[in-house]
Structure 1
Amino acid sequence: MKILDWYILKRYLVTFLFTLLILIPIAVAIDIAEKIDKFLRDENLTFYEVAVDYYVNFIIYYANTFMPLALFIGVILFTSRLANNTEIVAVNGSQVSFTRFLFPYFMGATIVCFVALSMNHFFVPTSSKVRKAFEKKYLKKKKYADKSIKEFSLQLNDSTYVYLQRFDLKRNSGYNFSTEIYDGIQLKQQLTADNINWKEKDSVFKLYNWKIRKIFKDRDSIFSGTSLDTTFAFTPKDFNYKNILAQEMRSPELIKFIEISKSRGAKNLNVYLVELYKRTSLPVACYILTLIAVALAYKKKRGGIGLNLALGISVMFVYVFFLKVAEVLGGVAGANALLNVWVPNMVFGAYAIYLYINGRK
């Protein structure tokens, strides 16, 4: 059986890579056709920057995106060919069970899953950061972040809170600023300012028309002034937490960011949780998609490979649809992000088990 295992595993990986290498050039060709005028318009843009900074990272991103589709189509094509050539009939005649027949397929799925996990958690976010920086500089005039924020509150630790009525992210200035320090539920100190400016060169905030109120048991002390340079345990980047692109953060950075945001009282972090959870759920889906593809193509049909391929693409379309709906629902405030991200795998996992039971018969 070892010879058959290696044969299936080899064809599994080769067909998967072949399918992926077909999809990637198509995506690159379509993207070049859409953006060629923008590339030629900028005189300072070099071919090296387009090829290395953009398209190398473009290929990394879309290779990772197309991986489940390429895997599914590749397994269906290869297994359908085995069925049409009656090779599976010979395997069954050798008293090889359907479960044992699946072993090399799951070995291949494990390899692809490991690669996908590594890419999702570490390589793709780093690649996306370079690609999106290129897009921001040469392809898109608008910034990803909003120009300003309104009614912003931030919890720095268990006792310190910050509030801003408005902050302009472009000018790094805001107004109606206050920070309060509590001892339990008792207010101990309050600092307010009419205006606040961030001086990036010195890494300090400049407060205008500021006032400090310190509260003691029997009296209050109030100090005020026209301007004051001071530091806080935050920068303007912390004001923009809602607009940070989660796709550009590696998983350790994303986990740390979520923990810090929770400690600071951020209300809805589901968008970031969805991004974090799907980096694991999509690679794990390799096992589910492999089982479904083998079960659909295991038996020889009158329609041959074309019928199996049509069935497979239909199933894949439904899976992708469920996946996108789950991501949207998971990003809504109050939703269970973990459950929503894994629901498509649960539903199609149940479908895969149903096909597996029928396949054993």
Structure 2
Amino acid sequence: MKIIDKYILKRYLGTFFVMLIMFIPIGITIDVSEKVNKMIENKIPLLEILVYYGDFTIYFANLLFPVFLFLSIIWFTSKLANNTEIIAILSSGISFTRFLRPFIYGAVIISFFALMMGFFLVPKASKGFNDFRYKNLKGNSQTRETSDIFRQIKKEGLIEENIYVSNFNYLSQTGFNFTYERFNDNVLIEKVTANRIKYDQETKKYTLFNYNKRIVGQVDDQLSNLEKIVVKYNFEPDDLTPVVYVAETMTIGQLNAFINKERARGNANINTYLVVFHKKFSLPVAAFILTIIAVAVSSMKRRGGMGVNLAIGIVIAFIFIFFDKVFGTLAEKSSIPPFLAVWLPNVVFGILAYFLLRNAKR
């Protein structure tokens, strides 16, 4: 690696981390100002608050990673252009493609870092961040209650087990109008109903109230009725009320296994989890695309100076985020394949990067 490569790479990485250090305290300050009243009101321990803001830092940095990266490249490349350093470099016989090489080295480092963060560190931070907000800041209106839940809890050969709960409250671990059905080759062989079902966290068992059981026989059915009974089933409360952010809290291996399990169960929210899965890979790729766009936009010396380049950069960065959010939401709520929705912004901006780079070379 030549001196020019080390010089640009050092500026690339240094400006990026300085940008993080600058903006993260601003984000924390805004978050504290919004939540300080509830923190005092709920008497949250200081240690718990400090852990929350550690998770917040990782969550916030990952969320706005493309913006920080893009603006940092715009910033220091514009300074190089304004100081006529780029003109000097290109005048020495170095091609624009060769000038771009240390930026690609930097993108590789940042992308690898973002990939590992997304696979292992961000899920843990996301869980801590969201759990803290739900537990301490959301208020009593957020009861995490779901209704009309149908799940397939077992499928082995011809045997199939399904459950239905008309209403389940996660905080009280209580459900109503519970039904369990067991089939053999699509023929009902057992059915259980209960007016109320309550989960015991210690024993991992369910207490059923006003319990009715029917075992279907060839001639006669066997009926049993009890006021209360304790039963162990092959499902947990999280299966009945999966939180919206559950996929964000899993490592890549856990998420893949979770998606396969939910797909087998016929979960209607499977696209939500697939969007999170694909974003773990698309975000690092975006680092390369945004790097090329940023260099192409800011490598020319403009009459308005860095301000013009920064304005262009901010517009492009937020258009990228807008595309990313819109297509992610469409994948969750419509029939658009999650893979296509997540990668389409990268494809569109990749094409833009190609044309901007070709123009910059001229």
Taking structure 1 as the reference length, the TM-score comes to 0.91
Q: Is 1:156 aligned to 2:157, yes or no?
A: no
Give RMSD over aligned pairs: 2.2
Cα 1:280–1:222 change in 2 (3 A) is: same
Shift of 1:242: 5.2
Displacement, 1:143? 6.5
SS in 2 for 1:96: coil
Against the structure 1 CA distance between its residues 182 and 75, is the aligned structure 2 distance closer, same or farther, given a 3 Å change threshold? same
Matches of 2:315 and 2:120, distance apart in 1? 31
For 2:103, the aligned partner's letter is: Y
Residue identity in the other structure for 1:172: Q
Q: Which moved more, 1:342-351 or 1:233-242?
A: 233-242
C-alpha contact 1:23 1:66 (8 A) present in aligned 2:
no
Task: Indicate if the aligned counterparts of 1:136 and 1:143 stay in contact, CA closer than 8 A.
Answer: no
The aligned counterpart of 2:81 is: 83
The reply on whether 1:220 has 2:220 as its aligned counterpart is yes
Query: Which residue of 2 is the match for residue 344 of structure 1?
Result: 345
Q: What's the % identity of the aligned pairs?
A: 39
Structure 2 residue 61 is the aligned partner of structure 1 residue 63: yes
Structure 1 stretch displaced more, 220-229 or 281-290: 220-229
Going from structure 1 to structure 2, the CA distance change for 1:278 and 1:207 (only over 3 Å counts) comes to: same
Aligned-partner residue type, residue 307 of structure 1: V
1:232–1:19 distance in 2 versus 1, CA, 3 Å: same
Residue 72 of structure 1: how far off its partner (Å): 0.9
Asked if the contact 1:190/1:213 (under 8 Å) is kept, the reply is: yes
Contact 2:67 2:318 in 1 (8 A): no
Cα distance in 1 between the residues matched to 2:276 and 2:140: 23
For the residue of structure 2 that corresponds to 1:157, the secondary structure is: strand
- Output one character per residue of 1:217-256: Cα deviation in whole Å (capped at 9) or x when no partner: x423313121332211012221112545332233322222
Whether the aligned pair in 2 keeps the contact of 1:20 and 1:70 (CA below 8 Å) is yes
Matched position secondary structure for 1:220: coil
* Distance change >3 Å, CA 6–CA 140, structure 1 → 2: same
Deviation at 1:57, TM superposition (A): 1.7
- Counterpart CA distance in 2 for 1:58 and 1:204 is 35
**Aligned residue pairs, count:** 357
TM-score by length of 2: 0.90
CA offsets 1:246-296 (integer angstroms, 9 cap, x no match): 322333222222221121221222222212222221221110110001001
Helix, strand or coil at the partner of 1:334: coil
Match of 2:22 in 1: 22
Please tell me whether residue 124 in structure 1 is matched to residue 122 in structure 2.
yes
Structure 2 counterpart of 1:13: 13
CA contact (8 A) 2:143 2:171 kept: no
| Mapping for residues 181-260 of structure 1, pairs under 5 Å | 181-216=182-217, 218-226=218-226, 227-241=228-242, 243=244, 245-260=246-261
Answer yes or no: is the 8 Å Cα contact 1:327–1:340 preserved in 2. Answer: yes
Q: Match for 1:64: what amino acid?
A: N
Cα deviation, residue 106, structure 1: 0.5
Greater mean deviation of Cα atoms: 228-237 or 28-37? 28-37
Q: 1:262 to 1:205 in 2, by over 3 A?
A: same
Structure 1 unaligned runs (5+)?
A: none
Q: What is the CA-CA distance between 1:145 and the residue it aligns to?
A: 4.8
Provide the residue aligned with 2:47 in structure 1. 48
State the AA in 2 paired with 1:141.
Answer: G
Distance 1:248 1:323 in 2: 20
Amino acid aligned to 1:48: L
Extract structure 1 runs of 4+ deviating beyond 6 A.
Answer: none
- Contact 2:189–2:216 at 8 Å: present in 1 too? yes
Structure 1 residue matching 2:44: 3-state secondary structure: coil
CA gap 1:220/1:95 in 2 versus in 1, 3 angstroms: farther
- The separation in 1 between residues aligned to 2:51 and 2:94, in whole angstroms, is 50
Indicate conservation of the 8 Å contact 1:145/1:243, yes or no.
Answer: no
Q: Any conservation in 1 of the 2:168–2:241 contact (CA below 8 Å)? A: no
1:49 maps to a residue whose letter is E
CA distance in 2, matches of 1:349, 1:152: 42
In structure 2, the residue matched to 1:140 is: 138
Residue of structure 2 in register with 1:95 after alignment: 93
**What's the secondary structure of 2:139's corresponding residue?**
coil
Matched residue type, 1:210: Y
Secondary structure of 2:163's counterpart equals strand
Contact in 2 for aligned 1:156/1:263 (Cα 8 Å): no
